[in-house]
Structure 1
Amino acid sequence: MENSTQVKFFYLFGLQETLNNKSVYFTLSLVTYLLIITMNLTLILTIIQEKGLHEPMYIFLCSLCINGLYGTAGFYPKFLLDLQSDVQVISYGGCFTQTFVIYTSVMCEMSTLTVMSYDRYVAICRPLLYHNIVKSLTVRKLLLLSWCYPLFIALISLSLTVRLPLCGSRIDKIFCDFPSILKHACFSITINQIWSKCLVLVHVLQLLYIVFSYCQIVRTCVKSAKGRIKFTQTCVPHVLTIFIFITVTLFDHLQGWNNVNITLNSRNAMAVQFLVIPPVFNPLIYGLNLQRIRRAVFRKCNTHTIFVMRR
Structure 2
Amino acid sequence: MDYRSNVTYITFGGHVEVQKYRYLYFVIMFTMYILIISCNVIIVCIIMIHKNLHEPMYIFIAALLINSVLFSTVIYPKLLIDFLSEKQIISYPACLFQWFSYYWLAASDILLLSIMAYDRYVSICNPLKYTTIMQKKTVNIFLISAWVLPVCLLSVGLLLIAKKEICTFNLKGILCNSTVQTLHCVRSRILNIYGLVNLVTVLILPVLFILFTYSRILVVLYRCRGVRRRAAQTCLPHLLVLINFSCLTAYDVLLLRLELNSPKIVRLIMTLQAVIYHPLFNPIIYGLTITRIYDNLKRLFC
What corresponds to 1:70 in structure 2? 70
What corresponds to 1:273 in structure 2? 273
Runs of 4+ in 1 over 6 A off after TM superposition: none
Matches of 2:259 and 2:271, distance apart in 1: 16
What corresponds to 2:182 in structure 1? 183
TM-superposed CA distance for 1:88, in Å, is 0.2
Would you say the 8 A contact 1:15–1:174 is kept in 2? yes
TM-superposed CA distance for 1:63, in Å, is 0.2
Would you say the 8 A contact 1:17–1:264 is kept in 2? no
The aligned amino acid for 1:180 is: T
Secondary structure of 2:176 counterpart? coil
Show CA shifts across 1:53-73 (max 9, x none).
Answer: 000000000000000011111
Matches of 2:39 and 2:238, distance apart in 1: 17
Change (3 A) 1:277 1:259: closer
Would you say the 8 A contact 2:171–2:183 is kept in 1? no
Would you say the 8 A contact 2:111–2:146 is kept in 1? yes
Matches of 1:261 and 1:162, distance apart in 2: 27
Moved more, 97-106 or 6-15: 6-15
Show CA shifts across 1:86-133 (max 9, x none).
Answer: 210111221111111111111111111111111111111111111111
Would you say the 8 A contact 1:10–1:91 is kept in 2? yes
Matches of 1:258 and 1:33, distance apart in 2: 26
Show CA shifts across 1:190-213 (max 9, x none).
Answer: 111010111122221111111011
The aligned amino acid for 2:93 is: G
Secondary structure of 1:75 counterpart? helix
What corresponds to 2:208 in structure 1? 208
Identity %: 32
What corresponds to 2:102 in structure 1? 102
Secondary structure of 2:86 counterpart? coil
Moved more, 60-69 or 283-292: 283-292
TM-superposed CA distance for 1:38, in Å, is 0.4
Matches of 1:20 and 1:37, distance apart in 2: 28
Would you say the 8 A contact 1:287–1:294 is kept in 2? yes
Unmatched 5+ stretches in structure 2 = none
Q: Aligned residues, how many?
A: 298
Q: TM-score, normalized by length of structure 1?
A: 0.91
Secondary structure of 2:223 counterpart? coil
| Residue 60 in structure 1 maps to residue 44 in structure 2 | no
| Residue 87 in structure 1 maps to residue 87 in structure 2 | yes
The aligned amino acid for 2:106 is: V
Matches of 1:253 and 1:265, distance apart in 2: 19
Moved more, 117-126 or 25-34: 25-34
TM-superposed CA distance for 1:18, in Å, is 4.2
What corresponds to 1:309 in structure 2? none
What corresponds to 1:235 in structure 2? 235
TM-superposed CA distance for 1:281, in Å, is 1.2
Matches of 1:184 and 1:58, distance apart in 2: 41
Change (3 A) 1:55 1:136: same
RMSD between aligned alpha carbons?
1.8
What corresponds to 2:143 in structure 1? 143
Show CA shifts across 1:158-201 (max 9, x none).
Answer: 11111112222111100012x32222223451111010111122
TM-superposed CA distance for 1:138, in Å, is 0.4
The aligned amino acid for 2:267 is: R
Change (3 A) 1:70 1:140: same
Q: TM-score, normalized by length of structure 2?
A: 0.93
Matches of 1:300 and 1:259, distance apart in 2: 44
The aligned amino acid for 2:184 is: A
Show CA shifts across 1:207-263 (max 9, x none).
Answer: 111101101111111223322101221000000000011012212333321587421
Would you say the 8 A contact 1:252–1:272 is kept in 2? no
Matches of 1:137 and 1:237, distance apart in 2: 25
What corresponds to 1:196 in structure 2? 195
Please show how residues 1-311 of structure 1 align to structure 2 within 5 Å: 8-177=8-177, 179-202=178-201, 203-258=203-258, 261-302=261-302
